[in-house]
Amino acid sequence: MRRKPKHEILFLNGKRNGDESVAVTLIPGDGVGPEVIGAAVKVIEASGVRIEWDRQEAGAAALKRYGTPVPDALISSLRRTRIALKGPLETRVGEGYRSINVYLRKTFDLFANLRPTRSFPGVSTRFANVDLIVVRENTEDLYAGIEHQVTPGVVESVKIITARASTRIARFAFEFARRNDRKSVTAIHKANIMKLSDGLFLKCARRVAADYKDIKYSEQIVDAACMRLVIDPSSFDVLLLENLYGDIVSDLCAGLVGGLGMVPGANYGDRGAIFEAVHGTAPDIAGKGVANPVAAILSGAMLVEYLGHQEAALRIRAAVATVLRGRRVRTPDLGGKSSTDEVAAAIVRAMKHAASSSAHLAKPE
Ligand code: NAD
The percentage of residues in the chain with a pLDDT greater than 90, rounded to a whole number, is 87
By three-state DSSP, how is residue 208 classified? helix
Write out the DSSP string of 239-254: EEE-HHHHHHHHHHHH
H or E, element range at 322: helix 310-326
pLDDT tens digits for range 290-336: 999 999 999 999 999 999 999 999 999 999 999 999 999 999 999 99
Q: Shortest CA distance to 247 belongs to which of 278, 202, 293, 205?
A: 278
**Beta bridge partners of residue 181, listed in sequence order:** none
Ligand 1 lining (C-beta closer than 6 Å): 32, 36, 88-91, 101, 260-261, 276, 279-285, 291-292, 295, 333
Q: Which of 9-18, 146-155, 204-213, 245-254 has the lowest mean pLDDT?
A: 9-18
> Using CA atoms, how far apart are residues 286 and 36, in angstroms rounded to an integer?
10
Cβ neighbours of residue 47 closer than 8 Å, sequence gap 6 or more? 304, 309, 312, 313, 315, 316, 351
Residue 223: predicted pLDDT: 98
Residue 20: predicted pLDDT: 72
CA of 175 to the centre of ligand 1 (A): 30
DSSP 8-state symbol, 4? P
User: Residues 190, 203, 212, 341: which is the catalytic one?
Assistant: 190
Instruction: Identify whether 54 is a catalytic site residue.
Output: no
> In this model, does residue 5 exceed pLDDT 50?
no
Crossing angle between the packed helical segments 33-46 and 340-362, to the nearest 10 degrees:
10
Residues 228-231: contacts with CB under 8 Å, at least 24 apart: 229/132, 229/253, 229/256, 230/256
CA of 91 to the centre of ligand 1 (A): 11
> Using CA atoms, how far apart are residues 303 and 291, in angstroms rounded to an integer?
21
DSSP 8-state symbol, 331? -
pLDDT tens digits for range 149-172: 999 999 999 999 999 999 999 999
CA of 248 to the centre of ligand 1 (A): 13
Residue 113: predicted pLDDT: 97
Residue 4: predicted pLDDT: 41
Predicted structure pTM score? 0.94
CA distances 130 to 58, 187, 241, 341, Å, are: 34, 19, 19, 27
Sheet strand arrangement including 22-27: 51-55, 22-27, 83-86, 273-275, 266-268, 112-118, 131-137, 238-241, 184-189, 216-221
Instruction: Identify whether 247 is a catalytic site residue.
Output: yes
> Pick the residue with more confidence: 128 or 358?
128
Give the pairing type, strands 238-241 and 216-221: unpaired
Residue 361: predicted pLDDT: 66
The pick from 136, 281, 330 for probing ligand 1's pocket by mutation, whose C-beta has the most ligand atoms within 8 angstroms, reads 281
Phi, psi of 40 (to 5 degrees): -65, -40
pLDDT tens digits for range 184-235: 999 999 999 999 999 999 999 999 999 999 999 999 999 999 999 999 999 9
pLDDT tens digits for range 104-158: 998 999 999 999 999 999 999 999 999 999 999 999 999 888 899 999 999 999 9
> Using CA atoms, how far apart are residues 208 and 187, in angstroms rounded to an integer?
11
pLDDT tens digits for range 326-342: 999 999 999 999 999 99
Using only C-alpha atoms, the chain has a radius of gyration, in whole angstroms, of 20
> Using CA atoms, how far apart are residues 105 and 89, in angstroms rounded to an integer?
13
Residue 359: predicted pLDDT: 74
DSSP 8-state symbol, 235? G
Q: Identify the residue whose C-alpha is closest to ligand 1 atom 43.
A: 280
Average pLDDT over residues 20-24: 89
